[in-house]
Amino acid sequence: MIERVAILSTGDELTTGRITDTNASWIADQLFGLGLDVVAVLTVGDYPDRLAWAWQRALELADVVISTGGIGPTADDLTNETVARVLGVPLALDRDSADRIRQLFAALGRDMPENNLKQALLPQGAVVVPNPMGTAPGYRIEARGRHLVVLPGVPREMKVMMEETVLPWLRTLRGGDVYLSRIFQTFGLTESALDEMVAGAVDPSEARVSFRASFPEISLRIVVHGAPETAAARLETLAARIRARIGPYVFGEGPVTLEEVVGGLLAERGLTLALAESVTGGLVGHRVTNAPGSSAYLRGGVVAYGNGAKRELLGVRQETLDAHGAVSEEAATEMAAGARRVFGTDLGLATTGIAGPDGATAEKPAGTLWVAVATASGTTARRYQLWGTRDWMKLLASQIALDWLRRHALGLPLADSQLFRPRSR
């Protein structure tokens, strides 16, 4: 029965502070969902002795060791030889992996540098964990009653490999009682407000509740533990209680993005959308088009960064700009209505604001945001006061805009959020 896991994060970029280790927290979060106990995270740079030290310590501590990093093609990628040395087994060329690397290069019409084959030299006994996103194969290997899992350090490769191969395998290994979890993706409440609203809904003996903030969203997870059927029934009961308390703030359950939810709602209702973006600079369009199939409802948009574009492409009147400025209720309203008219859609969505640091005034400080939605029955605009860095403000503005579309499609009122309080003019 496996219980204890150690996570090993390797790479000089971690020990010299060049990047923050987001892999370890993501993996820890996934393991928490399986009821596994992360005993330690060990992080070392690309040195043979330090890697060997970390592997030895990790194997002393845990039933399962999950390592990220150090399996690329370059000289400082030392994980495979370290694992082989620590376990006392030779490295052997994994022919399937070698073939796959050659094929990937051939498919791209590229010559394969010889050092790429190094990635297919795996410790004897390794069972490949396929890497659909890159050339370096991962693997798992059992030795001395321990399970070792080796994955690349590139987050997007690591995550797919965890989700597709490692987590299902761990779930099987674990057996017996199950840990079932449900994630509620929320937007519009702070973590402490969420905590207060949910408090008392779940007794600690029924489930573990945890929050995870990933700006600007906060997810809430409940994990129940028990025999498969009891656990599943309890999960549904608790989920219903959570929904009753925070429903309108929950844009999705499970691993879904806000843009996918919005896209699904628009597609279901047969609504088409056009965008008029100023402060978000294309970010709303980018997010909407991240959802596959978005061409079914998105006709297009105008990134109206200059006043000329607002006027000529969206029909915003010069007198509006003169009298109220480009960051105003009037301009936002004309932009949304203009996008709807120009693209001939059911909905027009506009953002205009001041991301800073330039352009701020006492009356319209950095963080001023107007969002407007135009429909057949008229246009609604609202002002928000955001805060933070330029990229935070753009992201939060795009989130508010997308959440408007969700609430509009569902007939929900606009959120009087604690994250961003709508201001009167």
Alpha carbons 68 and 42: distance in angstroms, whole number: 11
Query: Of 299-328, which residues contact its own copies (CB under 8 A)?
Result: 299-306, 308-309, 312-313
For its own copies, give the closer residue by CB, 141 or 373: 373
Would you state the structure tokens that stand for residue 47, as one six-digit string? 């040195």
Q: Which of 93, 99, 103, 115 binds its own copies (CB under 8 A)?
A: 115
Q: Answer yes or no whether residue 200 interacts with its own copies by CB under 8 A.
A: no
Alpha carbons 7 and 364: distance in angstroms, whole number: 48
Q: Answer yes or no whether residue 360 interacts with its own copies by CB under 8 A.
A: no
The piece of 28-36, 90-98, 327-335, 400-408 that touches its own copies (CB under 8 A) is: 28-36
- CB distance 152 to 68 below 8 Å: yes
Q: Answer yes or no whether residue 271 interacts with its own copies by CB under 8 A.
A: no
Tell whether omega for the bond before 168 is within 30 degrees of 0, i.e. cis. Answer: no
Strand pairing category for 273-277 and 208-214: unpaired
Q: Which of 176, 292, 378, 411 binds its own copies (CB under 8 A)?
A: 292
Q: Answer yes or no whether residue 382 interacts with its own copies by CB under 8 A.
A: no
Strand pairing category for 138-143 and 127-129: antiparallel
For its own copies, give the closer residue by CB, 308 or 378: 308
The torsion angles phi and psi of 386, rounded to 5 degrees, stand at -95, 175
Name 99's bridge partners: none
Q: Answer yes or no whether residue 346 interacts with its own copies by CB under 8 A.
A: no
Q: Answer yes or no whether residue 341 interacts with its own copies by CB under 8 A.
A: no
Q: Answer yes or no whether residue 27 interacts with its own copies by CB under 8 A.
A: yes
Alpha carbons 52 and 133: distance in angstroms, whole number: 28
Query: Of 46-105, which residues contact its own copies (CB under 8 A)?
Result: 46, 50, 53-54, 57, 61, 72-76
Query: Minimum CB separation from its own copies for residue 20, in Å?
Result: 4
Query: Minimum CB separation from its own copies for residue 235, in Å?
Result: 16
Closest CA to 223 of 401, 425, 36: 36
Q: Please state at what angle helix 390-410 crosses helix 258-269, rounded to 10 degrees.
A: 30
- CB distance 28 to 40 below 8 Å: no
Query: Minimum CB separation from its own copies for residue 170, in Å?
Result: 15
Query: Of 404-423, which residues contact its own copies (CB under 8 A)?
Result: 418, 420-421
Query: Minimum CB separation from its own copies for residue 351, in Å?
Result: 11
Q: How many residues contact its own copies, by CB under 8 A?
A: 115
* Distance between start and end Cα atoms, the chain: 62
Question: What binding mask, one character per residue, do residues 124-163 give for its own copies by CB under 8 A, x or -?
Answer: ---------x--------------------x-x-------
Q: Answer yes or no whether residue 371 interacts with its own copies by CB under 8 A.
A: no
The piece of 165-173, 225-233, 273-281, 327-335 that touches its own copies (CB under 8 A) is: 273-281
Tokens 């330029």 -> residue? 390
Alpha carbons 242 and 10: distance in angstroms, whole number: 39
Q: Which of 19, 106, 232, 233 binds its own copies (CB under 8 A)?
A: 19
Alpha carbons 47 and 49: distance in angstroms, whole number: 6
Question: What Rg, from alpha-carbon coordinates, does the chain have?
Answer: 26
Query: Minimum CB separation from its own copies for residue 53, in Å?
Result: 8
Q: Which helix (H) or strand (E) holds 91?
A: strand 91-93
Query: Minimum CB separation from its own copies for residue 143, in Å?
Result: 22
